[in-house]
């Protein structure tokens, strides 16, 4: 796909956000700080890495979505701006040594927490718009890539929905005078949030690799469907574990086996796609 100015800006911004996450990781390791808790520099690390990678991925994946140029500029520009604000505010609070979310101790902290929640809402609206456009139009791409992008955007909405649920439950607990419960309750959905968020990278990435294979489009489509099935199973299992408050590392043997099979299928498809891409090129 031909790169547009807004996509280049989004990718450059995402790269800077990702680098900020790496820098904060170095600071965290060098300082010997804690990797857990609401005051940990870890939040600056995870927000920088996650928002950076997600912004780059969304800019790339939505280039295959049929959207009018002006609308694309607005949607991707808003998504980029919101990503910067979210990462900057979380990093700032980490350096100040105070919680970034569910913190209503002062007027300033209250404004930060409110802005973070509003930014999440803005991001959800932009992804909803991109998803609606992807489901409605065909775009300049192959059916297998179109399918992969549609699934990735729907999965991203699931991730954002989990994030919104975390914020909502945490705010209720914090406003009720129990801030510690806010972090515990909200944190339960983190695994679902993380797994669903990166489907927009993995499944379209596999579809992109398969475009280099000397195969029929129908054959590519079957592998993309297999990847979608595996990723859906993985997300569902992790989602059930999150709702039950069970860590994926402490899940039952059946749940771990199911997740393992799903990951194995994704890995196998990735290996096949990479092999065929090398052969095709």
Distance CA 49, CA 57 (A): 12
Averages of pLDDT over runs of 10 residues in the chain (281 residues) are: 79 97 94 81 93 95 90 94 96 90 85 91 95 83 93 96 85 70 69 93 94 89 96 95 83 91 95 84 64
Interacting residues of 229 by C-beta distance below 8 A, sequence separation 6+: 265
pLDDT on residue 198: 93
Are 127 and 156 within 8 A, CB to CB?
yes
CA angle 266, 154, 127 (to 5 degrees): 130
Q: What's 37-73 look like in SS3?
A: CCCCCHHHHHHHHHHHHHHHHHHHHHHHCCCCHHHHH
Distance CA 152, CA 167 (A): 23
Distance CA 247, CA 238 (A): 9
Are 67 and 21 within 8 A, CB to CB?
no
Are 122 and 85 within 8 A, CB to CB?
no
Distance CA 114, CA 49 (A): 22
pLDDT on residue 160: 94
pLDDT on residue 40: 82
Are 4 and 75 within 8 A, CB to CB?
no
CA–CA distances in Å: residue 137 to residues 17, 127, 129, 150: 31, 15, 12, 10
Interacting residues of 24 by C-beta distance below 8 A, sequence separation 6+: 41, 44, 45, 48, 91, 94
Are 231 and 199 within 8 A, CB to CB?
yes
Q: In the numeric block, which tokens belong to residue 156? A: 């991203």
CA–CA distances in Å: residue 214 to residues 80, 265, 279: 36, 21, 8
pLDDT on residue 185: 62
Distance CA 100, CA 214 (A): 50
């Amino acid at each position: 796909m031909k790169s547009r100015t807004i996509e280049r800006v989004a990718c450059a911004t995402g790269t800077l956000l990702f680098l900020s996450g790496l820098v904060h990781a170095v600071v965290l390791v060098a300082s010997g700080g804690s990797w857990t808790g609401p005051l940990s520099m870890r939040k600056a690390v995870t927000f920088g890495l996650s928002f950076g990678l997600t912004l780059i991925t969304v800019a790339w994946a939505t280039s295959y979505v049929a959207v009018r140029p002006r609308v694309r500029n607005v949607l991707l520009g808003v998504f980029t701006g919101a990503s910067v604000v979210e990462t900057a505010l979380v990093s700032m609070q980490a350096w100040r040594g105070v919680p970034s979310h569910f913190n209503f101790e002062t007027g300033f902290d209250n404004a930060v927490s409110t802005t973070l929640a509003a930014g999440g809402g803005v991001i959800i609206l932009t992804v909803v718009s991109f998803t609606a456009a992807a489901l409605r139009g065909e775009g300049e791409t192959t059916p297998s890539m179109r399918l992969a992008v549609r699934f990735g955007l729907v999965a991203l909405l699931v991730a954002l929905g989990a994030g919104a649920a975390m914020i909502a439950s945490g705010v209720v607990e914090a406003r009720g005078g129990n801030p510690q419960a806010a972090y515990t309750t909200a944190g339960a959905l983190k695994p679902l949030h993380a797994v669903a968020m990166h489907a927009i990278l993995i499944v379209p990435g596999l579809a992109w690799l398969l475009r280099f294979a000397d195969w029929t489009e129908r054959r590519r489509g079957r592998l993309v469907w297999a990847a979608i099935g595996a990723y859906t199973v993985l997300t569902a299992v992790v989602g059930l574990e999150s709702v039950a408050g069970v860590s994926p590392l402490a899940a039952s043997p059946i749940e771990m086996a199911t997740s393992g099979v799903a990951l194995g299928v994704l890995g196998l498809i990735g290996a096949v796609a990479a092999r065929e891409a090398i052969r095709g090129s």
